[in-house]
Amino acid sequence: MRSDEATKGIERMPNRALLHATGVTRGQLAKPFIGVCSSFTDLIPGHIGMRSLERKIEWGVCSGGGVPFLFSVPGICDGIAMGHEGMHWSLPSRELIADMIETVMQAHRLDGVVLLTNCDKITPGMLMAACRLDVPAVVVTAGPMHSGRYNQRRLDLVRDTFEAVGLCQAGRLDEEDAAALEMEACPGEGACQGLYTANTMACLTEAMGMSMPGTATALAGSAKKARIAYEAGERVVALVRDGVTTRQIVTKGALENAIRVDLALGGSTNTTLHIPAIAHAAEVDVTLDAFDRLSREVPQLISLRPAGEFMMEDFEWAGGIPSMLKALSPRLDKKCKTVSGKTVGELVATYPDGDKAVIHTLDDPVAKEGGIAVLRGSLAPEGAVVKQGSVNPEMMKFTGTARVFEDEGAAMKFLFAGKVKPGDVLIVRNEGPKGGPGMRESLALTAAVAGCGLGDKIAIVTDGRFSGGTRNLSIGHVSPEAADGGPIALVKDNDKIAVDLPARKLDLLVDEKELARRKAQWKRPAPKFQRGWLARYERLVSSAARGAVLDPPVA
């Protein structure tokens, strides 16, 4: 075992002495040492219930014959960080989380790890670490939040608070109702109730085989979630003894299964950053192109908020990821291993059919194509991403007039001043991985646009990214980004922008000679941060089209 390096031999007497100081017995030195990496924090609703899950995981590790060692990583709530300077640090935190886990696991020579996570960048950061380390690992996601309630209707964070901002601005929501929505939308622990980034990544983690069956949609605070946490603790010890490591599970086939599930769900566009980054850590060839290729083969089978009316609790009661895998069975790579010890095919054979009112079949899909599309063209030569499952059919082809903003705040002021008109294309640039830096999410803008009643009348195009809660014609991840001199840096007010989702095209309708003239005059903007972590991040980070990873691509 890896831990033998710290525990075996006369020369390791000092190491053992320090381990005994933590309470480890002589007998435990011969057992697998298992990290329990928790992202518990009082700062995030999705993580406040993790203390009890930590205990269940520890119980499971002990039951399985291992020795649990709890350590922690920080987390950021994108909803709380949204709309201000704090959002610069969200995506970069993914890299810090991966680095910290790698550091602790390597320094202490732990044999395996259970990764307790839930929200946004924490889950992909943990998966990246597991893939880099290639040790036995199981991921436990802490679960979705229950819906809120007000005036006999169900509430969720995005539609009933973020989009309510636009309603207030438009005079369509009074202060009393706004205050009630603010208080009732989030009733307690868990990841926000729709198919936003946290819940999307939980679903994809289970789909790629890194979580125990049923983990993704088991609701926060439930006994089912507690039992799954216990089973994960037991299971990781068995993986150590059987020599089953992360890279045996996170293969190209497994990641493409995850993408298929993502497309069938109509999940967050942030997965187009995270899956390539996980693949990069695992040294697997899965890129942005896989999303577009598979989106033409895999239909969307469910309509969850923000695009539809179902919430994660409905998905759980309809059968969750097991029933989604059952519905997608003919399209999956069934040979892939999972942390359960069974292959995808063996698991699917035992899974029940889901509630067809919620989880549609391949013969009766919600939409013929998957929920995410990758666009290319003169405005985005390396690609751009849109959640096409959330776009009004009338907006699938759209040509509009550019209104150019150098950051999200300027676009928000323009919107709230009542200056946005139907037919506009809001170009929000210098928000990419380098230009942001940190590729801030634009949920505040997209939600305000929807709340103002303009969601199906305009487009938003940015080199930044969007929350999983975004809907309508919101196109992000435009690459190359403005800070790298990409075409989005050359757009001017009143230019025409053409979007054709069926043809996967995003074009700037400006003569090539004129673009060449603008390019010659362009100057790289000065870095926004001169010191600290974000200054280093800006110098190291790659394009969104490569997952915004820090190190160079594998040769």
What residues act catalytically? 467
C-alpha angle 284-290-295 in degrees, rounded to nearest 5: 150
Instruction: Give the integer Cα–Cα distance in Å for 440 and 191.
Output: 19
CA distances from 107 to 104, 111, 318, 493 (A): 5, 12, 43, 54
Nearest to 111 by CA among 21, 245, 228: 245
The DSSP H or E segment spanning 131 is helix 122-133
The residue to which tokens 């060692």 are assigned: 69
Torsion angle defined by CA atoms of residues 43, 45, 47 and 49, in that order, rounded to the nearest 10 degrees: 120
In three-state secondary structure terms, 281 is: helix
In single-letter form, the type of residue at position 290 comes to: A
CA distances from 240 to 24, 61, 110, 140, 342 (A): 19, 11, 10, 17, 16
Give the total residue count for the chain.
555
In single-letter form, the type of residue at position 168 comes to: C
Nearest to 122 by CA among 184, 63, 205: 205
Buried b (16+ CB within 10 A) or exposed e, 359-377: bbeeeebbbebbbbbbbbb
Alpha helices (runs of H) in 283-343, residue ranges in sequence order? 288-295, 312-318, 320-328
Alpha helices (runs of H) in 382-528, residue ranges in sequence order? 408-416, 443-451, 512-521
